[in-house]
Amino acid sequence: MAGPSFKFGQHVLQASCVFFKSRLSIGFVNRKPVVPGHVLVSPLRVVERFGELSSEEVADLFMATQTISGVVEKHFKGTSLTVAIQDGPEAGQTVKHVHVHILPRRSDDFPQNDDVYEALDKHDKEMGEDARWRTEEEMAEEASVLAKYFNCQIDGEPPSLGLQFR
């Protein structure tokens, strides 16, 4: 999907990876998901810490998170969700842009349920053969499938300025 790119902290996020856009937030696939369906939701404005968001951005971010999480849980056949924000470097934040992790969960997806937090802390820091990052093509394919749930068009302007519902 050609189109605009988005700033994500110190990175540039290609529009092809975005599957959801509201007036103030975007939902996009993860370059290195901890579990299948691990996606991210971020404000459009680059803000490093959660406390720096305006109340309007917080409301939009969490409405987007709630909307996306229900779709992701169903699409990836999860039975629960982990929803997390790593707010600051000591909390594990590596991208200097507020973002919410949404992870669809299943019974026994980790040996101990809370192991998900260690995996989340390490997932984008690991190097070596087991640390494969997804290609732009792989990410675009997943984003394209998820975008259909939201009637989301990222090529050019979004269809409306509000949350993108199907």
Closest to 87 measured CA to CA, from 72, 76, 77, 97: 97
* 16 burial level (CB within 10 Å; 0-12, 13-18, 19+): buried
Respond yes or no: is residue 99 known to be catalytic. Answer: yes
Structure tokens at 155: 């090529």
Q: Using CA atoms in the order 76, 65, 133, 16, what is the torsion angle rounded to 10 degrees?
A: 90
Coil, helix or strand at residue 27: strand
Q: Does residue 37 contact residue 116 with C-beta atoms inside 8 Å?
A: no
How many CB atoms are located within 10 Å of the residue 57 CB?
19
Q: Which of 97, 99, 101, 123 is catalytic?
A: 99
Q: Does residue 84 contact residue 25 with C-beta atoms inside 8 Å?
A: no
Count of residues making up the chain: 166
Catalytic residues: 99
